[in-house]
Structure 1
């Protein structure tokens, strides 16, 4: 066995190698189509102008100190200028200034003059509308800031080199004019706008201050934060006290319930854990044990009416009465403690509920008070900021602090086109087409539900796999070999199959074998013929062609299709020696199908057919029967009952796994002796690399050892 990654690589690369000419053909076709399309395109030119957008901000948005120190503009402001250069407004200005709608170079197509000339036969093309022109302009315009600098590239692509240079420069000029317009307009409107805003903010500030004062007087608020803090501390303390009292009550409840359960039985009460562990009870129990021992000692020496016995019994009885009374006292004290604990719990809960109500009320007051206070502070801060801005604007007057904009490099007429890069596009299209077609082939091979790879064979458990046969290389000339293959790899694979059949079973190798398949054209006739010839190298073999519907063995061996055969023997029109053909080179006799009858199934169901097989078994060491496909007719199912072994031929690249499984189920339903599956026409599975030590490269075979089911 080879490592999994090596097998997977072989599984991927083999389909590519076997279909290499198809891959190359379709790749070249796609590449030619791309190259032909590129030959129809016009060359495109790009001109680039470079602007500097300086770091000074407009005067009406700065403090006096910031303006004279020329602080840097924010990234958002710089990005805004780039978006202005790309805007529809700028596009319309440039189109109108350069009268681009009247220049055919601006709205000409991307195809060369020959294609454009053919298009003119359909009528004269009218100039585009402003909306179409703006969309085309924005598509061809590129605004690219240079990282780490204040420079920006303005590039325009066009099929006219001169037009691309004019438009790139005009965009920069239009931007300069736009900055002047903005500065002039802002100087006239900034001061009035600030005054209007201050008036409105002053009214809001007064209203918020009045609302805060009215709320303070209405609720009688002096120090809301301090009061809330005190109530919160009280709430925390009451919560802790409630937890402690509830825990004490729970502990006493357990003892109380136990004492209540045995209220009428002092002895049971004295055995409770809480009473038993009491110090006074333990002391009394110890005294009781001492007196009991003394009673026992005196009882051995005196009679029951002796004064000492009477006295000691009286003392013991008095002590037991004391113990019982002490138990009752403990029960009473426990009950009182439990009731007291319950009263403390209820009282603490009531105080805690009142504290919570008070805290929630004060919290609502605090939230409303904080909201009004924040509104006053916000209005006050806004008012102060706008007042400072108004004073600064008045003090700065006509100081110009707009973005510093100037041309660094104006665009020049480009000398050579930038697109299309035909060599690069053709190269990329070739590589992409090659990769795309290869992926399609690989995915098709991996996803097709056939047994065309080792991975799929390892997952096939419906039957044993006896051998894998390579695709036959047909001989170029007709020789005496007839239908026999001259491919040494196939021949060695057939010998491997023969060995597998001889040693596959623990018992005697099968004498009568049937060869069938799922559907036609899976190579069962070829496998039957070559397997029979392989067995004939060692013993006497008879090959029977039982496929009377579509016989192929006689045709492949260049025999007369109308010569007598199996059907003639079953119909008793000819003798055995007239129907059997002898292969003179080996010990192989062939019984072809003969004349095709109207109902082949009736012929094969005759007792005479079974009798013929038994008769042939007396003269031949091995009998191989080629049968019709399982899914086509039921002939193979009938024949499978008369043989010792059934070989199931599968086309490795075409037969679907469902077809294989359903065919095997049909045979298993009649308890056919299916020995295993033979994979035929395999192109992707190679498990015989190790055999290169023993065979020449042209004699290397494909071999897969038989696997046990399940």
Structure 2
């Protein structure tokens, strides 16, 4: 049972999706039919203007005079086996412009009317200028037209070639197809004869010129060798390159040594005369002699310390030890100075070494560049000699082959297998097919455009999109309708729209878990989504059983005055907030809609500041004591912040969106703004939706007024 239920649900969902896809086609069926018929009519008129084209074909055999076995198409163009490129050359020869010019000249096609008229029938072309008929087309245009109408089709695995020509004149088509075959042999003979006469002379001239070039290049190479004294350039370049590598390595090592000594040298210059600081250099304090002297100094200091404890300052032993210590310290200073001198000497020596290596390196680089230039010039001259020698040998071999083939004669011929006959029936255009295809393709294309447009629209225009909308609850889906004027010049709405508004009213009264909202704000994402109409009709619906006040808080672009036919500048909400008028002067009691209305009043310079007053909240509380329901129409959320401010003073916010125009990103953005201030958003009302069923029984149910009893209008006290 569960599987059956799942299958049934799947089938139902697929049916709903298919219905949503096809319903736009049904709604726009008359537009599709009208446009399809219009396109088909245009194509039919166009097809009726076209001339009929006739095609004649001749089949030729291209072969040679070999008496033995049947030749292939390759043997027809060469005594040896021909390549595929040579075979294709013969086909392209038949299509060539020069060949086309011969046929055009021989048949005098420039004077033929087929090449002087267009593709449309002259009897039906009432807009054609008669002066155009006197103009003769140029020879180049006739040749281009001829090539476009000519078709050369080789028959696979045979020596046969099919030549087809299409023309508006049936007799001309057969004449041209036959003339092409007759002209082909003469054209081939002329080409062969001209090439045979010029080939030998051309080769002789080329050999003479190449011989001079070869001799000149060899002389230039020899002269270069003698001038530069070159025997082996590559070996010398290799030696210099090795030397350059060694010098570069030595220069790097010498530079590193100078950098290392430079720091020590700068330290010496900075602390010159301060032996204590100089002795801290690693080169000095790690010297064995210096270390030995320091040890001796420490021993004498300990000895003097011991003697000072036993003897007086003038005791001979103590005096002798102190003199020895003084002498030792002088030796230490001398040792430090000697090491300093050695370091300085090594530094200056390293500088000189770097200079010498750099000089040698520069000289070697200059020599290497000179040898490289010589090598490049030598290679260039040597390549020129080798190239000229190779060209000379190739042309000499070609000349010998030409002399050996001097008695050869090509015997290409063209034999008609089937000559072209005058066609009886046209091959184009197929007018019936054109009209039929235009009708089918236009209908399919228009349907696809409508379906794709419906699918890509990022709006709530389908049941599937409504089910997938998770940002807020969908409270009601209001059908699309057109307002009409009655005899009394009052606007009347569709009965299905009124019933949908009543369903929204019921949802607000019974769908809330808590107390039904008393103060209801109605807003939207952007302008022109129908929030004013929804607010008015919802207020009218509540007015059937309650005392209702409709407040127009959209002071920037008020619209209710048009529907209610009141003065645009009459006192309203802005006047109450500014304390310029009393409540009884601002409220309009309209008998037609049976509710009290507070219009926006005079538009202030800053409506947001008016709505942010504490007086606005106080007015809402005062009105709550006198009215059962208060409905406030607010400006769009994404346009201004008025609706966000008003949402703090209401019990419920209804978010109106246009079913086919409002994009989902605008809806999400507006709801996000309201949720940021914890606005009491009850849900979304989809207005002007095309997804409400439009079947006949719905309309009959709503429009049948025979069983309706009119009750007297309840007066509000």
Superposition TM-score, scaled by structure 1 size: 0.67
Matches within 5 A, 1:147-166: 153-166=162-175
Residue deviations 1:376-431 (CA, integer Å, cap 9, x gap):
33333333332222222222212135878766776566676543355664565456
| Counterpart in the other structure of 2:561 | 549
Select 1:379's aligned residue among 382, 388, 398: 388
| Counterpart in the other structure of 1:251 | 260
| Counterpart in the other structure of 1:420 | 429
Q: Report if the CA contact (8 A) 1:35-1:422 is conserved.
A: yes
Matches within 5 A, 1:303-382: 303=311, 305=313, 320-382=329-391
User: Cα distance 1:193–1:277, how it changes in 2: closer, same or farther (>3 A)?
Assistant: same
Residue deviations 1:516-539 (CA, integer Å, cap 9, x gap):
9986793623443235525877x6
Q: CA RMSD in A?
A: 6.1
Question: Secondary structure, in 3 states, of the residue corresponding to 1:72?
Answer: coil
Residue deviations 1:549-600 (CA, integer Å, cap 9, x gap):
323599xxxxxx9xxxx99xx999x9999967599xxxxx52479xx9xx97
Select 2:479's aligned residue among 471, 477, 487: 471
User: Cα distance 1:120–1:318, how it changes in 2: closer, same or farther (>3 A)?
Assistant: closer
Shift of 1:346: 1.0
2:213 counterpart of 1:204? yes
Q: Report if the CA contact (8 A) 2:24-2:451 is conserved.
A: yes
Shift of 1:268: 0.9
User: Cα distance 1:256–1:526, how it changes in 2: closer, same or farther (>3 A)?
Assistant: closer
1: CA distance between counterparts of 2:227 and 2:601?
Answer: 113
| Counterpart in the other structure of 1:689 | none
Question: Secondary structure, in 3 states, of the residue corresponding to 1:46?
Answer: strand
Matches within 5 A, 1:426-575: 426=435, 429-430=438-439, 433-434=442-443, 437=446, 469-472=477-480, 485-486=495-496, 490-491=500-501, 494-495=504-505, 498=508, 509-511=517-519, 522=530, 524-530=532-538, 532-533=540-541, 541-542=548-549, 549-552=561-564
User: Cα distance 1:146–1:260, how it changes in 2: closer, same or farther (>3 A)?
Assistant: farther
Q: Report if the CA contact (8 A) 1:467-1:496 is conserved.
A: no
Shift of 1:180: 0.7
Question: Secondary structure, in 3 states, of the residue corresponding to 2:496?
Answer: coil
1: CA distance between counterparts of 2:283 and 2:17?
Answer: 78
2: CA distance between counterparts of 1:222 and 1:610?
Answer: 109
1: CA distance between counterparts of 2:239 and 2:517?
Answer: 102
| Counterpart in the other structure of 1:72 | 82
Deviates more, 1:8-17 or 1:177-186: 8-17
Q: Report if the CA contact (8 A) 2:505-2:541 is conserved.
A: no
Shift of 1:257: 1.8
1: CA distance between counterparts of 2:540 and 2:328?
Answer: 115
| Counterpart in the other structure of 1:388 | 397
1: CA distance between counterparts of 2:177 and 2:280?
Answer: 106
Structure 2 residues without counterparts, runs of 5 or longer = 1-15, 66-76, 487-491, 553-557, 574-579, 604-609, 611-615, 693-697, 702-717
Q: Report if the CA contact (8 A) 2:185-2:413 is conserved.
A: no
Question: Secondary structure, in 3 states, of the residue corresponding to 1:620?
Answer: coil
| Counterpart in the other structure of 1:590 | 595
2: CA distance between counterparts of 1:345 and 1:74?
Answer: 70
| Counterpart in the other structure of 1:683 | 689
Shift of 1:328: 2.6
User: Cα distance 1:652–1:497, how it changes in 2: closer, same or farther (>3 A)?
Assistant: farther
Select 1:183's aligned residue among 192, 198, 202: 192
Deviates more, 1:412-421 or 1:183-192: 412-421
User: Cα distance 1:498–1:378, how it changes in 2: closer, same or farther (>3 A)?
Assistant: same
1: CA distance between counterparts of 2:154 and 2:312?
Answer: 123
Q: Report if the CA contact (8 A) 1:470-1:493 is conserved.
A: no
Question: Secondary structure, in 3 states, of the residue corresponding to 1:486?
Answer: helix
User: Cα distance 1:284–1:143, how it changes in 2: closer, same or farther (>3 A)?
Assistant: farther
Shift of 1:137: 0.8
2: CA distance between counterparts of 1:313 and 1:8?
Answer: 115
2:249 counterpart of 1:240? yes
Q: Report if the CA contact (8 A) 1:525-1:553 is conserved.
A: no
User: Cα distance 1:247–1:678, how it changes in 2: closer, same or farther (>3 A)?
Assistant: same
Matches within 5 A, 1:605-684: 617-624=624-631, 644=650, 651-653=658-660, 681-683=687-689
Q: Report if the CA contact (8 A) 1:514-1:640 is conserved.
A: no
1: CA distance between counterparts of 2:180 and 2:351?
Answer: 89
| Counterpart in the other structure of 1:691 | none
Q: Report if the CA contact (8 A) 2:498-2:537 is conserved.
A: no
Question: Secondary structure, in 3 states, of the residue corresponding to 1:155?
Answer: strand
User: Cα distance 1:170–1:312, how it changes in 2: closer, same or farther (>3 A)?
Assistant: farther
2: CA distance between counterparts of 1:205 and 1:578?
Answer: 113
Residue deviations 1:241-272 (CA, integer Å, cap 9, x gap):
22222222222222222222222111111212
Shift of 1:621: 1.7
Deviates more, 1:611-620 or 1:270-279: 611-620
User: Cα distance 1:302–1:130, how it changes in 2: closer, same or farther (>3 A)?
Assistant: same
Question: Secondary structure, in 3 states, of the residue corresponding to 1:115?
Answer: coil
Deviates more, 1:493-502 or 1:613-622: 493-502
User: Cα distance 1:577–1:623, how it changes in 2: closer, same or farther (>3 A)?
Assistant: closer
Residue deviations 1:301-328 (CA, integer Å, cap 9, x gap):
6456577766666665555544443333
User: Cα distance 1:413–1:470, how it changes in 2: closer, same or farther (>3 A)?
Assistant: farther
Matches within 5 A, 1:159-174: 159-174=168-183
For these two proteins, the number of residue pairs brought into alignment is 621
Deviates more, 1:126-135 or 1:189-198: 126-135
Deviates more, 1:282-291 or 1:198-207: 282-291
Q: Report if the CA contact (8 A) 1:474-1:485 is conserved.
A: no
Residue deviations 1:473-499 (CA, integer Å, cap 9, x gap):
6899x9xxx857335983476248737
Q: Report if the CA contact (8 A) 1:514-1:643 is conserved.
A: no
1: CA distance between counterparts of 2:457 and 2:253?
Answer: 75
Deviates more, 1:42-51 or 1:303-312: 303-312
User: Cα distance 1:34–1:317, how it changes in 2: closer, same or farther (>3 A)?
Assistant: farther
2: CA distance between counterparts of 1:231 and 1:613?
Answer: 102
Q: Report if the CA contact (8 A) 2:522-2:653 is conserved.
A: yes
